[in-house]
Amino acid sequence: MFSEIEPFDENDSSVIPAFYLRAKLEVEYLDPDIIESAEINAVAFGNSLARLTKSELGIIPAFPNPRGLDTTQEVFLGMLETLRDNPDLYVSKNRGAKISAFVENIEDTESGTTILTLAFAPPSDETIGQGVHDGQHTLFSFVRARLDGINVSAARARILILNKYLPKESEGIITTEWQQSYRHDKRTKYNTQGKFQELKKVIPQAWKVAYYQNQPDVSSDLRSSVDHLLQLLCVVDFENYNWLNARLARHPVSFATNFGSNYDSAIGVSHRLSCLIPDLIAIEEALLVHIRNDFQRSRIKLPGFHFPTVGQEHNFKATIALPNGRIFQMIVPKAILLPIISSFRQLLKREETGVIWKIDFRKNPDKLDKLIKQLWSSAKTSISAKVALTAGIHTSAILIREREFWHSFCSIAHAFCEAECSSDTDLSNRIIN
């Protein structure tokens, strides 16, 4: 039977050393390439995982799991609680783990259990690396329990093992299929499938962008997510949204209000306009600075906008974290920011060599400040007028769905461009797309 399994090169020194898994096989081989086992002896399982590495998962590689490890989440803490208080119930309350590995040996013991010797191949030019596809938190719960002195001898966990090489074309497919019981976000799935490669080429290495769920060392703020970068590109898509051309959709409202349903289209936009990301984040940062300074100076009050009072900054926990590392201690609705930033598409054009800005904001930051001041003044007027009608309830959510709101900013940006472009003939700030 074992001769039918895809051969494993024992001389390959790059393969991670053997991992010994004591289990009770629930069924025989379903086919030569798949072993399904259950009722894992958690004592042996935990001892094997106790050989920790920097990944904190022992010798089992966390890749190709598309999600990061988050030991602060409620689900993981619940796993630990079960292992501590009701270890015998763990197998019924937990959906287990799914991994890819090589089964080097199967040995039946006198006690009726089976010892599986597993090894994990690293990525190559033709294959993706073997490791955890689903259940990373399940596996690490045993590691954490042992480190915390919890006796896990009565616990069991279900493990599904895929015993074969995984070709490159299967990257992201097997993992996401196996994780159908878990509803992870689209960015996690698409990152596994390599759909953010164009974006990653233009994003500075020092930036911290969340490409997948529970990504370590990245802010949980939505503006640090790759989703936010995609939204910025979509709302400045000047090639598909021309407010002066009645034959084209005038404003990208759907990308701001129903982004999830337009994710595939957003990926397409990123292939055309990804080069704009650094400039768009700089524009967003400048806009946030202006809004913060205006609120500090005038102490105005608008629904949905929140800032710390003087002397209470240490008690104000809400922050906006941009991927370039800039952090703002305030709350500003994206429903207001996106239509304002969208108006900057009036300042973009495509030439044979790529996309360019009609005004060189890098050489003339005062012009950027001047335009932002006009746009923010218009936004305050629109918000105040809407508050009078809505009593401040869902004001931002209502405004972002009104095309007139988007139109007002485009009108300002268009007039600004007409007035300033004649005096800014140097287009050396060309962005090659």
Based on C-alpha coordinates, what's the Rg of the chain?
A: 27
pLDDT above 90 as % of the chain:
27
Q: What is the pLDDT of residues 243-285, one digit of tens each?
A: 777 666 688 888 888 888 888 899 999 999 999 999 999 999 9
At 376 the pLDDT is 97
C-alpha span between 149 and 281 (Å, rounded) = 47
> How would residue 227 be classed by pLDDT, with cut points 50, 70 and 90?
very high
Asked if pLDDT for residue 332 goes beyond 80, the answer is: yes
At 112 the pLDDT is 65
Say which residue, 392 or 272, is predicted with more confidence.
Answer: 272
> How would residue 168 be classed by pLDDT, with cut points 50, 70 and 90?
low
Q: Which of 45, 48, 49, 29 is nearest to 37 (CA)?
A: 29
At 51 the pLDDT is 38
C-alpha span between 112 and 25 (Å, rounded) = 9
The SS3 call for residue 399 is helix
Lowest model confidence (mean pLDDT) among 17-31, 122-136, 172-186, 419-433:
17-31
Lowest model confidence (mean pLDDT) among 74-88, 123-137, 177-191, 264-278:
177-191
What mean pLDDT, rounded, does the chain reach? 76
Asked if pLDDT for residue 364 goes beyond 60, the answer is: yes
Q: Which of 313, 237, 305 is nearest to 269 (CA)?
A: 237
The size of the chain, in residues, is 433
At 128 the pLDDT is 67
At 229 the pLDDT is 95
At 67 the pLDDT is 66
Whole-prediction pTM value?
0.65
Q: Which helix (H) or strand (E) holds 119?
A: strand 114-120
Q: Hey, which bits of 259-383 come out as E strands? A: 320-321, 327-328, 348-351, 354-357
Mean predicted confidence (pLDDT) in 228-254: 85
CB 230, CB 269: distance < 8 Å = yes
At 60 the pLDDT is 58
Asked if pLDDT for residue 208 goes beyond 80, the answer is: yes
- C-alpha 240, offset from chain centre: 26
